[in-house]
Structure 1
Amino acid sequence: MSMIPLTTRGAERLKQELQRLKSVDRHAVIQAIAEARAQGDLSENAEYEAAKDKQGFIEGRILEIEGKLAAAKVIDPASLADNAGGRVVFGATVDLEEEESGKALTYQIVGEDEADLKLSLISIGSPIARALIGKRVGDVAEVQAPGGVRSYEITGVRYV
């Protein structure tokens, strides 16, 4: 498995989810299976099947998170300020101005599991993040969007 970049916040969220899955969700589904078994015939027991399906999902998610955390390279964005030299790198928060509309935007470049556009967190693998990586304040990034090419001027780069 290749290295998976995560911010410290993203790694902490995965650890919290793993803890919840192991200590709360796993025990709840075991209890649901036991209750469904107590109802008798398992061959036509919908509650039993649903609980077993949920158990499979939980166990699969636990394995997935454990694998991601084992392969994670946790990066603290605040520690990047000295080494990044003002460039856009993983973990950076980037202030942009869309050249056509003049609209101001702010995004933080994060790992795949952390991305949430509603919170202005974009994945390192997204087209806009790929266009921004390596650029500096004043540079223009061109992004191929479904509606055509969009240009964004970088107005600020922060490591928070």
Structure 2
Amino acid sequence: MRKGFTRRPKVEEPAANHVKNYITPSGLERLKDERHFLVTKDRPAVVEVVAWAAGNGDRSENADYQYGKRRLRQIDGRIRFLTKRIEAAEVVDPEAPRTGQRATRVFFGATVRYANAAGAERVVSIVGTDEVNLDRNHISWASPLGRALMKAAEDDEVVLHAPGGIETLNVLSVRYERIPVEPFREPHSPEVFTKET
């Protein structure tokens, strides 16, 4: 047998390579709500249309069938992604009581007010990667700004290494409070097409 056709056993990834999915309680609820919607409403509706389209004859030229199957693959992929994120979730409640440095330094769930060198102030909340919403100033703990602010305390200066260059920021305040995450909303105009009756 030639070398090119030998199969190598799969090496399992060590558990240390798996990154925890830090998330707030409301962020986790949002992921669960989206998965519930996909499993109980969106997917069954598409399955019904695909079944109807399959009964209409030649599937190779049946646009409803082809689109429906593609949509099912997208939904199934999203359900798998959400399930993995939910299973890896490490819930951190920003409102939980904190003592010592955990109450005065920036960690996951902190709301931080800082100023740049020009004196412009900004307030950001440090959330999980699934909760990022720049319109609400929710940044990821893994972002360049999130990493720069980590473990800083009030009146500390931190250096931000951003794609646009290096910037010095002054931390003005650190507080822990509820971070309102946008709840999951069912789409108003679902992508599911309706079968003709």
The alignment's C-alpha RMSD in Å is: 1.4
* 1:147 Cα offset (Å): 2.8
Identity of aligned pairs, percent? 38
More deviation, 44-53/34-43:
34-43
CA distance in 1, matches of 2:98, 2:30: 23
Gap regions ≥5 residues in structure 1: none
2:59 corresponding residue in structure 1:
42
CA distance in 1, matches of 2:55, 2:167: 60
Deviations 1:66-97 (CA, angstroms, capped at 9, x unpaired): 11111111110111533513000011111111
Gap regions ≥5 residues in structure 2: 1-17, 178-197
Contact 2:35 2:79 (8 Å CA) reproduced: yes
Q: Which aligned segments of 4 or more residues in structure 1 are displaced greater than 4 angstroms?
A: none
Secondary structure of the residue aligned to 1:77 is coil
Does 2:141 align with 1:141?
no
Q: Compute the TM-score of the two structures, normalised by the length of structure 2.
A: 0.76
Instruction: Give the helix-richer structure, 1 or 2.
Output: 1
Secondary structure of the residue aligned to 1:89 is coil
Q: Compute the TM-score of the two structures, normalised by the length of structure 1.
A: 0.93
2:180 corresponding residue in structure 1:
none
Does 2:108 align with 1:90?
yes
Secondary structure of the residue aligned to 2:171 is strand
Bigger Rg, structure 1 or 2: 2
Deviations 1:106-152 (CA, angstroms, capped at 9, x unpaired): 11111111111111111111000000000001011111223321121
CA distance in 1, matches of 2:109, 2:40: 30
Which residue among 91, 101, 120 is the counterpart of 1:74? 91
